[in-house]
Amino acid sequence: MSALDLSSLSARQVRDGVAAGDFSARELADASYARIQALDADVHAFLQLTPALAYEAADRIDAARVAGEELPPLAGVPAGIKDNMNLIGTRTTCASRMLESYESVYDCTAVRRLLDAGALPIGKLNMDEFAFGSSTENSAFGPTRNPWSLDCVPGGSSGGSAASVAAGMVSISLGSDTGGSIRQPAALTGTVGLKPTYGRVSRYGVVAFGSSLDQIGPFGKTVDDAALALEAIAGEDPYDATSAAATVEPYAAVLDGDVRGLRVGLVTDILEVEGCAAEVRQSVLDAAKMFAALGADVAEVTLPSAKHGLAAYYVIGPAEASSNLARFDGIRYGHRVDDAADVIDLYSRSRTEGFGPETIRRIMLGTYALSAGYYDAYYGQAQKARTLIIQDFRKAFEQFDVLLTPTTPEPAFRFGEKSDPYTMYLNDFYTIPVNLAGNCAISVPSGLCSESGMPLGLQIIGDHFAETTVLRAAAAYEKALGFDTTPPLVRGRV
């Protein structure tokens, strides 16, 4: 293995080390691929490695440093990309047989911005098929395993993105978050995961799941890692009409640990949700006490409509998915059978063979919710519930700067443990309302479960375009807690 140990270096340390000549970008690529070779047979975070792209980028950075040129802000930082984001020179499969052979013909804006900032594209990461899932068990190419325990899931749908960072294979990664798919796997793997405000980051080039819900965001070992990555990928994009013209701030510059006077709301009415573990509840209560000790003004707050978020989401999300995935029909895009008897047979068999069970379930749910006679009863009612949730957040942020909840009701569970959709969907109970409202939120490690030894996550929620405040609060909590983010698998292989 390379002498460089990525698991012990933050993205900032990598960048500064390259600038100082302590190591080269090529050595960092070597270190990343060495770590992948050592661990990924067990973890299975990657679906495709892209060494030609990574070393080409590394050599450009090393040449620029030798020439005395100013280096980009993420120079030499190894990065992974969730496999629903397009990048020329890679396949974009969405972990589905439907797109198994699809070659990207254009770049996702967020990916291109990350690489333009100097990050090295190490490879494409595993996920739940088309981002439908909370465990990465739904990948057509096999599950990703949690570096904290290979018997447990890493969360989903961005399980590969989370596991690759937790295992020290890359310094940062990109995931997508439709109902919690960045924050939930971050909590389960002891990493930091940021879901930006809807519109903060361009969605151009990501294969759509729920167009009113999807948002791209970063994973890192530290809050500073996430802040540096957000600076690189955020901003308006002419190719995405939903991207916002809001100013991209120097997010990493505000991480001074000072939260004196910050108004922190402890959301109390959803702490007793079905299936929420006692230690998860206690970790949030302890976090509130920690913020108070740091000088923040902490008080309780309620979000009365948040309890309806799960039901509303599993109408709205599948409805949008059924529309977005209609294009994968064997004619326009995707897997196609060769011996169809007619066009109906072509559609039916191509989609049946190309899509996995959870994808089919969500397409059917969404199509039903949008069908004549049921639209008002289901989709219309779900949108009304969404409006109430938006109003709850708006009212809460008149009084508070950030809100605290658990990220997930429980720590990582074992493979096959969630045998029915409802218990699986409950894992996103705390994260879904944020997507419905379009707010920003971050998950930071909040300790370990005493029984299982698996990580727990604290969710810090901010108002629209309040990433600076959320990151400042998260960095202060991270510093005060002092959580060791190195999982046992990595400690045993360093």
296-338 per-position pLDDT tens digit: 999 999 999 999 999 999 999 999 999 999 999 999 999 999 9
pLDDT at residue 2, as a whole number = 47
From CA 428, how far away is CA 418, in angstroms rounded? Answer: 13
From CA 355, how far away is CA 363, in angstroms rounded? Answer: 10
Beta bridge partner(s), residue 445: 457
Whether the full predicted model's pTM is greater than 0.85, yes or no, is yes
Q: Does the active-site annotation cover 82? A: yes
What is 417-449 written as a DSSP string?
---SHHHHHGGGTTTHHHHHHT-EEEEEEEEE-
Active-site pick, 10, 24, 32, 82: 82
Q: Does the active-site annotation cover 157? A: yes
What domains appear along the chain, each with residue ranges and CATH number?
6-309+380-491 (3.90.1300.10)
Q: Helix, strand or coil for residue 459? A: strand
Altogether, the residues listed in the chain come to a count of 494
pLDDT at residue 1, as a whole number = 37
Active-site pick, 135, 164, 176, 181: 181
204-256 per-position pLDDT tens digit: 999 999 999 999 999 999 999 999 999 999 999 999 999 999 999 999 998 99
Q: Does the active-site annotation cover 479? A: no
Active-site pick, 24, 139, 157, 243: 157
Residue ranges of E strands in 230-387: 263-267, 297-301
Please answer whether residues 160 and 83 qualify as being in contact, where contact means their C-beta atoms are separated by less than 8 angstroms.
yes
Structure tokens at 178: 């439709």
- Point out the residues of the chain with pLDDT beneath 50: 1-2
